[in-house]
Amino acid sequence: MSVMLQEIYQQPEAAAVVLEKENASVTALVHELKRRSIQHVIIAARGTSDNAAVYARYLLEIVCGIPVTLAAPSVFTLYGASMQLHHTLVIGISQSGQATDVIQTLSAARAGGALTACITNVPGAPLLEVSDFAMLCRAGEERAVAATKTYTSTLLLIAMLAAHWSNHIGLQQQLQSLPVMYHAMLTLDEQVACCVERYRYMQDCAVLARGVNLATALETALKMTETSYLIAKPYSGADFLHGPIAMVSEGFPVFLFMPNGPTLPGMLELGLKLRERAAEMIVVSRDSSALELARTPIAIPIEVSELLSPLLYIVPGQLWACHLAVARGADPDKPRGLSKVTLTR
């Protein structure tokens, strides 16, 4: 069993630990956010952490009504910009807590008057030194280069932050069921391991979702690119119609994440357009019309609110990337030329 697959299986436990141990740090941060009347959030992150940031931007805007900016670290690190950031929270996300440009961004933001916070898996990491508040992933050491459990722990911390900041009791309650729901999602393992065989020689594909699950599309595509060296292009289903759909010819493989909720009607419409082009669809959904579009349907075994669905819908994406690598003769634990910590000049 690859380390990556072992770590995918550690997600129920990681979720349980975060729910138990990080409630206090999240509520302490929320207390300060309210005290300082924070009106804007900036998030600095790279790679997988940046995909988590995409989830944060949707969730905080939708649930808390707070506009969220994904930082372009080079604005600070290369161009040396200075910004007035009072009433702004800047969150740095880095699994290792070592991402140099994320640290520099937080440091520059602090100089501009911002409140700073971080999400990291490594207590004592350098990122904590520039952070007024810290939230820990508590996922245990992550050994696989392709991050899985730290990604979902990060999403969980973001969901806890949004739920507490907005006093959204419904979300807070649903979060408690996450460990059980992760166990249910892992029952998809065998099916996914079998499905990937058909895609042994796939050269490229598109991965589509809308709204909060744009993060899921981005992260699934990144996992596939990292472990299987294929060209997986992630898109918002809306942006895909503005040009990129031109790449779809007969048999072109397209992944679609289609949870129930406000994004489903648009995704179904997109699915019909893809069917007209005879695309080969892999659909992750609980909706029967969505699953019927697929050559390879992956039926989600649980009910979850759409706002929290990215925490769970990524699991088949992770399993897919891991098993596909094996099917293609690659080692998911040893991606060609990648290291666990990437430093940006």
First to last CA, the chain: 35
Using CB under 8 A, which residues numbered 186 to 205 contact a copy of itself? 203-204
The question of whether 340 is a catalytic residue gets the answer yes
The CB-of-13 to a copy of itself minimum distance in angstroms stands at 25
- Closest approach of a copy of itself to the CB of residue 43, in Å: 11
How many angstroms separate the CA atoms of 266 and 223, rounded?
Answer: 25
Q: 61: exposed, middle or buried (C-beta count within 10 Å: 0-12, 13-18, 19+)? A: middle
β partners of residue 345: none
Q: In the bound complex, what is the minimum distance in angstroms from residue 302's beta carbon to a copy of itself?
A: 22
24 or 37: CB nearest a copy of itself: 37
Q: Report how many residues bind a copy of itself under the rule CB under 8 A.
A: 67
Task: Collect all residues with Cβ–Cβ distance below 8 Å to 35 and sequence separation of at least 6.
Answer: none
Of 128, 184, 186, 241, which one interacts with a copy of itself (CB under 8 A)?
241
Q: Does 167 bind a copy of itself (CB under 8 A)?
A: no
Q: What is the DSSP string of 20-52?
A: HHSHHHHHHHHHHHHHTT--EEEEE--HHHHHH
Residue 17 near a copy of itself by CB under 8 A: no
Q: Which of 9, 16, 25, 62 binds a copy of itself (CB under 8 A)?
A: 62
Decide: is 246 part of the binding site for a copy of itself (CB under 8 A). Answer: yes
* 67 sits near a copy of itself (criterion: CB under 8 A): yes
User: Which of 124, 141, 201, 249 touches a copy of itself (CB under 8 A)?
Assistant: 249
Q: Is 200 exposed, middle or buried (0-12, 13-18, 19+ CB in 10 A)?
A: exposed
Distance from C-alpha of 312 to C-alpha of 295, rounded to nearest angstrom: 22
Q: How far apart are CA 235 and CA 244, in angstroms?
A: 9
Question: What amino acid positions are annotated as catalytic residues?
Answer: 340
- Interacting residues with a copy of itself (CB under 8 A): 39-40, 42, 46-48, 50, 57-58, 61-62, 65-70, 72-75, 78-79, 81-85, 88, 101, 203-204, 210-211, 214, 222, 225-226, 229-231, 233, 236, 238-239, 241-249, 262-263, 265-266, 269, 277, 335-338, 342, 344-345
